[in-house]
Structure 1
Amino acid sequence: MRSPLVVFGVNEAAEALGAAEMVLYDPDPARLRIMVDLGRAIVRRFGGDLRLRGATSLEETIEGADFVLNSIRIGGIAGRAADERVSIEQGYPGQETTGPAGVAMALRTIPVAIEQARLVERLSPAAWLVNFTNPAGLITQAVSDHSKARIVGICDTPTELFHNIARALGEPADEVECDYVGLNHLGWVRGVRVRGEDVFDRLLESDELLRQLYLAPLFDLAMIRTLRLIPTEYLFFYYERRRALDNQRRQGGSRGAEIQRLNDDLLSALTARLDAGDGDAAVDIYAAYLNQRSGSYMKLEAEGGSAFDHGVSLDGDPFRVATGYHRIAIDVMSALTGAKPARIVVNTRNRGALPDLPDEDIVEIASDISMDAIVPRPIAPLPDAVHGLVRSVKAYERAAIASVLDDRRLVARKAMLIHPAIGEWTPSGDLLDALLGHAGDDGECLCHGPVLRRP
């Protein structure tokens, strides 16, 4: 559902990118038509010459491209909602990229992402594959290890936290430097400088400043001070698992279920306006959707709130915000073309930058990006407080990838055992069956993902 937002970004930066045409693909022809028509309405609304069209196959989409932006969800938003529901029923928080639901998403997505990367490798070998697909770090790792595609994984979570820190301090974002370390959806800020001056202690000591860093009250401020680390919001599902689960049970749903309802309402409203030829109204409907979705982020898990509560929507123009997936995507692509070299936190090979992890591991790290080059910047070792957590999650990623490629059910259970947000063996068999299904007595697949037939 973020494709039209990316269309806006590419259109806005078309000259710097040298972009003349953007091609969209979706296996659902009706949804593809809506996204193309809405994208064209966005170009008309904001001005520009970007050509936009839909393709009928992945091959048509990829061939001849300079950049391939990949954002897939195997099973759709209904699959996310189902995974999160199963996780909650089994006693774990329901979240699409961590815990049991995150494992299910990864196992479904790994083989498809690798297959699509190999298409890029064959049809547009010089193209950069910009991976939006979650879990972004794990998928970037799988593609890097099992294809020759040039890939970079992106996520707006670190940049969003950096901007929140700058805003809390009352400083321009480009004058605030954050020392960031970790993996995708598992990262921390461990230092902050403003124009070279260390202000980390000032930030940690202020309740008022720390409370401004998140849309919802996620973390006990005493915990942040004790760790001397500012966690990104996804650490909530490690540090506050019981609270997240309690709030989901109290509210009676999950973020995925709410997004499914938001998306269904959006598609219905967009279809009516676009079929009536009212593209401007469709753009306004989409903007309101983005504000409602962004404004309600983490409210359910942290507070037992809802995306449908009164007053949750953000104000302002969601197209022109300083952060977001479309911003980081355009920044990365603009840097890779050589138009605007930049230092950006991305998911890329470690190459010795973080001494605690192997060179080939994908890490989320500040990197100097210039024409066709991504160079991770060397950083200090992981803090003791998070060293084990990071290494465990990397071990989980390796096991999850191996379980799919080797078709090994026991290795998938091993991945669940290693995962710090699961960490149990006995429930893993039932979890796999509930999330992905299993082979029946007749050998037929009773599943919603890879069956993993071998033990």
Structure 2
Amino acid sequence: MKEALKLVVIGAGSSYTPELMEGIIMHHHELPVGEVWLVDIEEGKEKLHTIAELSKRMVAKAGLPITVVETLNRREAVAGADFVCTQIRVGMLEARKWDELIPLRYNVIGQETTGPGGMMKGLRTIPVILDICRDIEELAPDAWLLNFTNPAGMVTEAVHKYSSVKSVGLCNSPIGFQKWLSGFFGLPAEKIYSEFVGINHLHWVSDVVVNGESKLQELIDYPQSYKASNVPFDSWDHRFLNGLKAIPSYYLSYFYMTDAMLAEQKETAATTGSRAEVVKRVEEELFELYRNEELQEKPKQLEQRGGAYYSEAAVLLMRSIYNDARDIQTLNVRNNGIISFLPDDASIEVNCIVTKQGPLPVPLRKIPQSVGGLLAAVKQYESLTIEAAVHGDRDIALQALVHHPLVPSVTVAEQLLDEMLEKNKTYLPLFN
């Protein structure tokens, strides 16, 4: 086993990076990272420097033998890496703002990973991630790529289809739910088994088992449903959940309560601004804190950013691969028949046993009968979006949008697509 691991973080100028550093420091005894290479692009240079300086102070305080390197040279960073984490945002928060605001003009949900906004993010992001993969194939063929970049399911599927890189997609949603359950039952998370069925940002928990006994009905009957701080609407209808026999991910609010969520988004956009604008303000405050040379740890305010536990998910996954831990984690992996009505090469979000060879998906015990149609439709949209992104194909992009359950008609899809492609043309060279 390698004694000192090389970890590369691409998009390291992100406000999340101090949380990742905290995890690396905390778990150093079981994940001996010797080098952390922090990489970003020219536009993110200043933020990258701020993050690198804070990371060095955190490492110095912990007294650990970890070298922190900041660079804009991605190929130099990737060479010989053991793990590469991608957390990029092509077009930055400005592009996200339009992903959220343009659909609202057409009475369509505006969200950065769901519907038209998710599609535009996929079109911008997938070619860039595949470019990173070409560097990994050449310079670090044995490295594991851990992808946090949204839309994580689409990005992971694109990597599996169009590169030979060993890759896993990660999301903070499952680990957040498991932590909530841990508090609810007063038990360590490893004593609770939750079965996740679905794809990234579109999953259902089909069972929760404690001491061999299903607790699903108890959770369905519990009045305060689980929610995330960055998704506003959480009052699931009890009769509906009772019939569904599952707990939906909070992202399913956009599909199951579209009218209420749309009204909420429009009101928020008109008052406090889009989610991107709110996040931009939070980020500015965080970077103000990060620049303080007295700061030697991750500040508490980072939790407001809406991405709690991302780094924990990443560090746990690296630790489990490195140590061949064979524990269970909820990850985005290739389907290979686990969900029978989805293609084998689809990316799904399910429980996996994590080994040195990578995650092995656990067969599902229960797939709620009602979810198949929605799951298949959104997966079809994702697969079409990937093809459109890779080939710069406007016709395929239109098919993806028309067949998304939140888009009401071909006319709306065409108008939305034209306006959003025009707004994003700087980041979509393949479409021009």
Q: Is the 8 A contact 1:416 1:424 kept in 2?
A: no
Shift of 1:3: 1.2
- Structure 1 distance, partners of 2:429, 2:106, is 20
- Structure 2 distance, partners of 1:357, 1:236, is 22
User: 2:427 corresponds to which residue?
Assistant: 449
Q: List alignment gaps of at least 5 residues for structure 2.
A: 1-14
User: 1:310 corresponds to which residue?
Assistant: none
- Identity of matched residues, %: 30
- Structure 1 distance, partners of 2:156, 2:33, is 24
Which of residues 335, 352, 355 in structure 1 aligns to 2:340? 355
User: 2:395 corresponds to which residue?
Assistant: 410
- Structure 2 distance, partners of 1:163, 1:288, is 18
2:183 maps to 1:167:
yes
- Structure 1 distance, partners of 2:311, 2:98, is 28
- Structure 1 distance, partners of 2:251, 2:226, is 16
Alignment of 1:246-265 (within 5 A): 246-251=263-268, 252=270, 253-265=273-285
Q: Is the 8 A contact 1:334 1:341 kept in 2?
A: no
Q: Is the 8 A contact 1:392 1:420 kept in 2?
A: yes
User: 1:239 corresponds to which residue?
Assistant: 256
User: 2:4 corresponds to which residue?
Assistant: none
- Structure 2 distance, partners of 1:229, 1:116, is 38
Q: List alignment gaps of at least 5 residues for structure 1.
A: 298-322, 439-445
Which of residues 196, 204, 207 in structure 2 aligns to 1:191? 207
- Structure 2 distance, partners of 1:377, 1:339, is 16
- Structure 2 distance, partners of 1:401, 1:60, is 28
Query: Partner of 2:323: helix, strand, or coil?
Result: coil
TM-score (norm 2): 0.89
- Structure 1 distance, partners of 2:121, 2:381, is 14
Shift of 1:329: 0.6
Q: Is the 8 A contact 1:164 1:214 kept in 2?
A: no
Which has the higher mean CA deviation after the structures are superposed, 254-263 or 427-436? 427-436
Match of 1:420, as an amino acid? P
User: 1:18 corresponds to which residue?
Assistant: 32
Which has the higher mean CA deviation after the structures are superposed, 412-421 or 212-221? 212-221
Q: Is the 8 A contact 2:226 2:234 kept in 1?
A: no
TM-score (norm 1): 0.85
Match of 1:3, as an amino acid? T
| Residues 453, 95 of structure 1: alpha-carbon distance in 2 compared, 3 angstrom cutoff | closer
- Structure 2 distance, partners of 1:287, 1:105, is 29
Q: Is the 8 A contact 2:38 2:52 kept in 1?
A: yes
- Structure 1 distance, partners of 2:178, 2:233, is 17
User: 2:303 corresponds to which residue?
Assistant: 291
Which has the higher mean CA deviation after the structures are superposed, 11-20 or 130-139? 11-20
| Residues 363, 288 of structure 1: alpha-carbon distance in 2 compared, 3 angstrom cutoff | same
Shift of 1:217: 4.9
- Structure 2 distance, partners of 1:336, 1:205, is 37
CA-to-partner distance for each residue in 1:106-153, whole Å, 9 max, x for gaps? 111111111111111111000000011100000000011000101011
Q: Is the 8 A contact 2:85 2:148 kept in 1?
A: yes
Shift of 1:381: 6.0
Q: Is the 8 A contact 1:403 1:409 kept in 2?
A: yes
Query: Partner of 1:54: helix, strand, or coil?
Result: strand
Q: Is the 8 A contact 2:136 2:165 kept in 1?
A: yes
Match of 2:33, as an amino acid? A
Alignment of 1:306-385 (within 5 A): 324-338=309-323, 340-380=325-365, 382-385=367-370
Alignment of 1:71-150 (within 5 A): 71-150=87-166
